[in-house]
Homo-oligomer: A and B are copies of this chain.
Amino acid sequence: MRASDKAYQTLLDEIVEGSLPPGAVLAEVEQAARLGVSRTPLREALSHLRKDGLVEPLAGRGLIVTAVSIDDIVELYELRQPLEQQAARLAAQRGNPQIFAQIAAELRESDKLISSGAEGIRAYYQLNERLDRAIEDSIASAYLVSALKGLHLHLARIRRLSRQNVDRLRAAAVETLVIVEAIVNRDAELAASATHVHLQQSLRNSLDTVRTLAVDRVA
């Protein structure tokens, strides 16, 4: 693996996971020393993160991890809505119904997972990731998949902020099931509409929890 790729992947993980929080300063020499690479590959990693929108230049201070405001969440969903609706639409038209039928079956059992503690919730998240993968594989449109990849970077970061309670996870599972069943039945417009509904609920939940956290912090 190239040193620049390794540096990129490491920094990306740390930003998404939160150990490099918004506002963290990324000085070249410092990070190069920390990651055990020279400045050249590190700079390449940083410039890619900049294109991803995860870091931005701060006059004189080098690069800092970008902030995630409530406005950012709303704006991100203004991109997410059309992209994922289109993804669902194309998956319904082109996907292999058997693959999605399998996921639908597991989603119907997901209540048990969600109620069975942290271990089960991790398994539920993995199921969602498998669904995302299945949709991307079905799409076959390189440009759309690429846009989705960039989107998911930012979503992963937001997911850390907006705490998911068990009730929301259960509701999300039901909403997701509607999408997957529409894909199985090759009903593209229903898949798109169900995605619309699901994302609207998801946005509402994100905003509610983030606002609550913000209030908590002040109190």
Residues of A that sit less than 8 Å from B by CB: 40, 43-44, 47-48, 51, 53, 72, 75-76, 78-79, 81-83, 85-86, 90, 139-144, 146-147, 150-151, 154
Q: Complex Cα distance A72/B85, Å?
A: 20
The residue among A53, A76, A79, A90 with the most chain B CB atoms within 10 A of its own CB is A79
Q: Complex Cα distance A150/B139, Å?
A: 19
Q: Are B78 and A86 in contact (CB under 8 A)?
A: yes
- Note all chain B residues with C-beta closer than 8 A to A86: 78-79, 81-82
8 further interface pairs, Cβ-Cβ under 8 Å (given A78-B139, A82-B85): A40-B40, A43-B44, A53-B143, A75-B140, A75-B141, A79-B86, A79-B141, A147-B150
Q: Measured between C-beta atoms, what is the minimum distance from A71 to chain B in Å? A: 9
Q: Complex Cα distance A185/B84, Å?
A: 28
- Note all chain B residues with C-beta closer than 8 A to A146: 53
Contact of A147 among B44, B47, B81, B147 (CB under 8 A): B147
Q: Are B75 and A142 in contact (CB under 8 A)?
A: yes
Q: Which B-chain residue is minimally distant from A89 (CB atoms)?
A: B82
Q: Measured between C-beta atoms, what is the minimum distance from A65 to chain B in Å? A: 16
Q: Complex Cα distance A150/B148, Å?
A: 13
Q: Measured between C-beta atoms, what is the minimum distance from A104 to chain B in Å? A: 24
- Note all chain B residues with C-beta closer than 8 A to A139: 78
- Note all chain B residues with C-beta closer than 8 A to A53: 142-143, 146
Q: Are A144 and B78 in contact (CB under 8 A)?
A: yes
Q: Complex Cα distance A76/B146, Å?
A: 11
